[in-house]
Amino acid sequence: MCWTATSQHLTEAAAIRRSIAQYLEERVKEREALLDAEIVIGELLANAVRHSRGRFCADVEREGTRPVVVVHDAGRCFDSSAGPHHPFAESGRGMDIVRALAEDVRIRRVHPRGCIVSAKLKLTMRDDARHEPTPCPRGESRWELGCACALEMHGLDPSHANVAAPASVD
């Protein structure tokens, strides 16, 4: 599945967050843990809305039994090595929250301009859960290329997408 929106509309991001949560609710074992997953999704989408200068896309892929949310935007990638922010700061705590509630958070800069952030959720996909990933060219993972709709969104040729080295590995 792949969801796209323009970054100027918070209502679109909220609708995408709800849609992804519903998609996961139908496919995971631990429904009680969905609130944490929805917080992670909301923080990632809020960052895309705040920092992107255009459209963004969100995708869900499956890594083993875990769902991974991938958000690709056209914004400037940020330094993920910065330590935790002050707990009473008015902003800047989103990625701290994401790291606390997700298992594996990755940030990668995409050229010519963009950022891919992925978070492996602390949920287990049911064995019978249908998962229809958005096709990626050459069978590559979304972590390598960003979701297919993001490539289209930026006019990148999926046959030789230009992906930079990770901005930071946590």
Nearest CA-CA partner of 98 in 71, 129, 74, 125 = 71
Give, as one character, the DSSP assignment of residue 70.
E
Say how many domains are in the chain.
1
**The pLDDT of residue 73:** 85
Phi, psi of 43 (to 5 degrees): -65, -45
Q: Identify the pLDDT of residue 94.
A: 85
Helix, coil or strand: residue 47: helix
Q: Provide the residue type at 69 as one letter.
A: V
What is the distance between the alpha carbons of residues 142 and 58, in angstroms, rounded to a whole number? 11
Reading the block at residue 126, the tokens are 């049911």
What DSSP designation does 139 have? G
Contacts of 95 (CB under 8 A, 6+ apart): 43, 47, 78, 80, 105
| CA angle, residues 117, 73, 165, in degrees to nearest 5 | 55
Segment (H or E) for 95: helix 94-101
pLDDT of residue 149: 56
Residue 39 sits in which domain range? 2-168
Which CATH number fits the domain that encloses residue 162?
3.30.565.10
CA distance 114 to 9: 19
**DSSP one-letter string for 115-133:** EEEEEEES--B-TT----P
Q: What is the model's pLDDT at position 74?
A: 80
Give the mean pLDDT per block of 10 residues along the chain (170 residues). 74 90 92 92 91 82 91 77 62 84 90 83 88 50 50 51 39
